[in-house]
Every structure is written in structure tokens, then in C-alpha cells.
Structure 1
Amino acid sequence: MKLIKYIKDKWLTITISAVSYFVILMVMRVFALPVEIVAIITFLYFFTGGLQLLINYLRKRKFYNRLLLNVERLDKKYLVLETLTKPDFYEGELIWESLYKINKSMTENVSDYRENVEDFKEYVEMWIHEVKIPIASLVLMCHNHKNELDEKYIKQIKRLDNYVEQVLYYVRSSCSEKDYIIKDVNLEEVVGKVLMNNKDDILEKNIEPQINIKNITVKSDKKWLEFIINQIVNNSIKYCKNIAMSHNDTKAVLKISATEEKEKVILSIYDNGIGIPNQDLKKIFEKSFTGENGRLGQKSTGMGLYIVKNLCSKLGHQVSAWFIQNEYTEIKIVFGKNDYYRF
């Protein structure tokens, strides 16, 4: 709170005081008061007026400066009232009481909103679990009658299953800390399971998996990590090429390797597919971002890598992307050597 602006704000009070003094001065001249008396009255008038203005400024400045400073410092600015004491001047009391009512109303609305969101999430989870039963039955039926069904039907059912699974993990990601258990996880075992789940697509696209993970364990949650790796592998399969365009390769390659260092383990998932355009790199982990590749007939939702990034952050892992367009894409996940290690 600045003194100059405060004085400018009080221009009407100051103007009325000046006019009042001018009237008093005229009255004193009419009564022909001695100059000494006029000087004393003038001094007392302006001194008391100025002192009153200064005292009011100092009282208000303390409250308003604390209010502005605390609002600036707080991340959750609606909690500012908790940092203030009730002021001792009327205007401040009005502001304090208004903030109290606003805060109370907002808290009630947020509480109702959260309750509605939780109810909706519970419904979505319940619906997903229910719908996964017929999907699982369809997958089993397709497997039992593989030679009798067109491959496109099997593929669409698998896509449906993957998208339903993606919705489930997205809903759970906001409260994933309630659903994961951090412990030693064998990377080779998790990667092997992911590849088995995608074996039909890998064979169909004539992709050559190259796995280089030898008995490496990381601190993570097995179920969530399997989903993360599966999303990345699905992307690699989706955007692969039947014949690579670089280095004279004869077929598409999916390389999954892990290296162990002193403080971390790095899992690399590499494919020699279509890569990522330069302008898309910074946005590939953003929500609903499909990018140039997603618009080229792949019907991408833009949610897979967003969920991967979100879950990695929750689990304490770091995920990043490396690429050259039309040559390769490499996604790296970095694991700390303990539950609390952050990068």
C-alpha cells in the first residue's frame, strides 16, 4: 500500500478540508483576529488533519500489505484468510468478513464438486469392470475360433480392450498412491508379459523384437509399470514401418534394453518407425495431443503418453523421448535405486 496512492484516493476528504479551512480563515479575517491566533489555528488544523490521515494510513497499510504479500506467496490463494488476523478498523472488518463468507462458500462448493467427481469415478470404475467381462469373453472366443474369424474383428476387440484399460488407469491415476505397492520388480518379466500380450500385432507387422534385459530389478509397482510399458510398446507397434527407411534395415525393429548405473536404472524402448516431427516433441506428453502422426489415419486419442507421464511422476520415475523423424523413436524411463529417489 503506497502513501501517494492513498492520499490520491482521499482527494475528496482533502478538498473538503481545504474548503473548510478557507471558510474558517474568512471568518477569522471578519473578526480581525491577531495574526498569531490565525497561525496557531492554522497549524493545529493542518497538523491534526495530517496526523489523522497518517494514523489511518498506517493502520490500513499493515493489514493490506500483509493481505497482498500473503496472496502473492500462497499457492492456494483461497487460504489467505487463515494467515490474517481480524483488523481493528471498519473497512478491514468488512473485507475480512467478506473473505470469510467467500472462503466458506468456495469450500462447500469444492466439497460438493469432489464428492460428485468421486461418485463419477466410482461409477466409471464399476462400469469398466463390468464391460471388461464381455470383452474378455470376446477375446477368449476369438482365440478359440481364430481360424474362423476375420483378423480385423480380433484386432478391433483388442483395440477396444486396450482403450477400456486406458480409461481405467486414467481414472485411477489421480489417486494412484492408494493403489500401488512399491517393491522390487523384475524388468525382464514385465517386458516379456507385455510382448506376449502384443505378440499377434508384432507378428502381423513383421516386427523383430530385440530384448537386452538381464535380471535387472527396479523399484516400482508391477501392475502400473506393466501398463506404462504396454502403452509405449503399443505406440511403437502402431507407428512402425514394415520396412525401415533408414540404414538399409530389412524389417521393423523393436529394441527394449535396460542399463544399470550407480544411482539409477534406464529402460529404453526403441523402434525404427516413423519417428516424431520436431514441432511435436515438446507436446507428446500433453493431454489429448495427437500431433502430426496421430492425424495421418492412426486415430490416436492423445491420452496414452499423457497417462504414462502422469503415472511415472506418481511412481517417482522419469520419462523422456528421443527421436529423428522417419528414422526412430526412443522412449526412456529412468528408475531410482530406492523408493524416494527423484530426478
Structure 2
Amino acid sequence: MSFFKYIKDSLWTILYFIGVICTINLILISSTALNKSIGDILYMNILIFSISLLFLILHYIKWKNSYKNFRNALYNKEDIDDFLPNGEKLEQVLIRETIDFKNEEKLRETKELKEDLEEINDYITKWVHEIKIPLSVCELIADKIEEEELYDISEELRGELERINFLTNQVLYTSRASSYSEDFAIEEINLYTLVKSVIKNNMNSFISKKIEVEMDNLDFSVFADSKWTFYVLDQIINNACKYTDMHGKIKIFAREDEESIKLFIKDNGMGIPPKDIERIFDRGFTGDNGRKTTKSTGMGLYICKKIASRLNFNIEVSSQVSQYTEFKITFYKIADYFNVTKM
């Protein structure tokens, strides 16, 4: 607060003081000979004014210093609890009591919100497990259709079932993403084994679109959470299948340097427009490709980026329209993963 603002806030006190001085002056003037006392009265007024101004400036400096850290914390959006004024003045007590009240209020709201989210997550988890039962039954039906040699119908049904399964798992992982730190375990993972599992999970998509998969130089071990890393690769490879034309090609390979192991997933599909590439990890963003092909939720890559940031690996993408799209996932060496345990 500026000095002039402080003067404005102290206006009534100053007016009271001026009133008292004026009253004293009137009494002195009326009770003594004016020609004998005017010099003494002026001297007294100058002296009182000087002392009062000095007192006002010193009090302003003291007052400002007592709230300096608190004010800076507010402006810098820092935690203000460590900078609350600790004096016993009424305004200082009120500030502390107000902050305590608002903290308790926010804690109650946070607790209620957390309980509501936990209920929703529990419901989603149970629903996902329940929906997998009819999905399994549909798989058996597809097998029976194949036995009747109705391969086109069976292939179409399996493709839709794979998509339903993919979207169901996406719902499950999205619901868990907010409480991810309670559900991870860093371990050594073989990239070849992990990629092979993801490809197997998307096999129907590869077969239906006759997409060639080329894997090269994947025999590396990285440190990550296997379940969540599987989800990230599954999202990226599933997208590669979705946006690659018939008889397309997806190449998956890895490279190692002193600091990291980089996994590349490259397809020769439709590519990503330059205006969209900076936003593909934004929540709910679908872009031109998402609107042209299938109805996209815009959540898959957003969750991937969120998981990557918490697991301390990095995802980058480069693309050229009608040429290729390449995702680069950088897994840092083990020393960097100590940061994950601090989350």
C-alpha cells in the first residue's frame, strides 16, 4: 500500500487530530494577548506538525513491514499460511481467523468432492468389469459365426468388439488418472515384450486394414509402470491404425543414447495438419482428422501426456500431411526415475 493510500485510510484519525489542535489554538488565542502570543502559537503548531508527521511516517513504515511478507505472498500467489501477521491487533486477528475459516471450508469442500469422485470411480470400475462379460459372450458369438463360414460378418463384429473394448479401457484409465499416484509401480520393462503385447491387443485392426507392422531394435529395458505404459502405447498404436489407410505400414523401433532410450512409432497415414499438431495433447481436442474419420473423444492423447509427465518420460510428435506421423517416447535412464517416487 502506498503512503497516500495509508493517509486516506487514516483520514478520520488525522481529522480528529487537526480538530484537537485547532481547538487548542482557539483557546490560546482567546485567552491571551494576540500580539504577544502569536509567535509562540505558530512555533508550537510547527513543532506539533513536525512531530506528528514524523510519527505518521514511522508508523507507516512499521505497519507496512508487518504486512510486507503477507502482501508479497498474495501477489506472488504463494502459500500465505506461513506469512500471516502474528500480532494481536484486531485487524491481524481477523485476518488469521478469516484464513483459518476459509481453509476449513475448502477442506470440507475438498473432502466432499473427493468422496463424490471416489464413488464415481468405483461405479466406473465396476461397470467396466461388468461390461467385459457381454463382450466375452460376443467374442464367442463371433467364433460361432466363423464356424458358419460367415467370415465378413465375423470380421466386422470382431472389429467393433475391439473398438468397444478399447473405449471401455479408456474410460477405466481416465477415471483412474486423477488418482494415478496411488496406483503405480516402477519396474524394469522389456520394450519388445511390451510392444508385442500392444500389437496383439490391436491385431484385429491390423488384419482388417491389412496394415504391415515392422519392429526393429526393441530389445531394451526401461524403468516405468507396465500397466500405464501399456496404456500409452496402446493409445498411440491404436491411433496409428485408425488414421492409416488400407495396406499401410507402421514401423516401431528404438534408439539408445547416454541419457535415454527413445521409442519411435511411425505410420504412413494421413498425417496431422500443422495447425493441429501443437494441440493434439490438449484435453478434448479432436482436430480435423478426428472429425473426418470416426467420432473421437479427444481424451486419449491428453491422458497419455498426463501419465508421461507423472512417470517422468516424454512424448513428442512430428508429422507431415499425407506422408507420415511419428511419435517419439523418451524413457530416461534409471537415475531420473527417482523423481517419480517424490510425486
Pair in the same fold by TM > 0.5: yes
Classify the secondary structure of the residue corresponding to 2:239. helix
Q: Deviations over 1:223-255 (max 9, x none)?
A: 22222111101101111123xxxxxxxx41100
> 1:93 maps to which residue?
93
Classify the secondary structure of the residue corresponding to 2:334. coil
> 2:265 maps to which residue?
269
Identity value in percent = 31
> 1:153 maps to which residue?
157
TM-score, normalisation: structure 1:
0.88
Q: For 1:53, which of 40, 52, 56 is the aligned residue?
A: 56
Matches within 5 A, 1:295-314: 295-314=291-310
Structure 2 unmatched runs, 5+: none
Q: Deviations over 1:8-58 (max 9, x none)?
A: 333344344435434443333222351354135424542454355345424
Matches within 5 A, 1:30-45: 30-32=30-32, 34-43=37-46, 45=48
The size of the alignment, in residue pairs, is 332
CA distance in 2, matches of 1:126, 1:314: 26
What is the deviation of 1:309? 0.9
CA distance in 2, matches of 1:339, 1:126: 37
1:255 aligns to 2:247 (yes or no): no
Matches within 5 A, 1:172-191: 172-191=176-195
- Greater share of helix residues, 1 or 2? 2
What is the deviation of 1:285? 0.6
> 1:227 maps to which residue?
231
Q: Is the 8 A contact 1:184 1:217 kept in 2?
A: yes
> 1:111 maps to which residue?
111
Q: Deviations over 1:113-137 (max 9, x none)?
A: 2222222222222222222222233
> 2:327 maps to which residue?
331
> 2:167 maps to which residue?
163
What is the deviation of 1:160? 1.2
Q: For 2:240, which of 233, 236, 253 is the aligned residue?
A: 236
1:68 aligns to 2:67 (yes or no): no
What is the deviation of 1:322? 0.5
Structure 1 residues 193 and 144, CA gap change in structure 2 (3 angstroms): farther
> 1:132 maps to which residue?
132
CA distance in 1, matches of 2:171, 2:96: 44
CA distance in 2, matches of 1:340, 1:141: 48
Classify the secondary structure of the residue corresponding to 1:334. strand
Structure 1 residues 24 and 332, CA gap change in structure 2 (3 angstroms): same
CA distance in 2, matches of 1:339, 1:131: 41
The one-letter amino acid of 1:95's match is I
What is the deviation of 1:204? 1.6
CA distance in 2, matches of 1:81, 1:143: 64
> 1:193 maps to which residue?
197
Q: Is the 8 A contact 2:159 2:208 kept in 1?
A: no
Q: Deviations over 1:35-89 (max 9, x none)?
A: 35413542454245435534542443133222111224454x4xx2343242232
The one-letter amino acid of 1:136's match is S
Q: Is the 8 A contact 2:142 2:154 kept in 1?
A: no
> 2:18 maps to which residue?
18
The one-letter amino acid of 1:273's match is G
TM-score, normalisation: structure 2:
0.88
Structure 1 unmatched runs, 5+: 243-250
CA distance in 2, matches of 1:140, 1:338: 44
CA distance in 2, matches of 1:266, 1:71: 42
What is the deviation of 1:155? 2.1
> 1:248 maps to which residue?
none
Classify the secondary structure of the residue corresponding to 1:86. coil
Classify the secondary structure of the residue corresponding to 2:283. coil
1:3 aligns to 2:3 (yes or no): yes
CA distance in 2, matches of 1:192, 1:91: 66
Q: For 2:336, which of 321, 333, 340 is the aligned residue?
A: 340
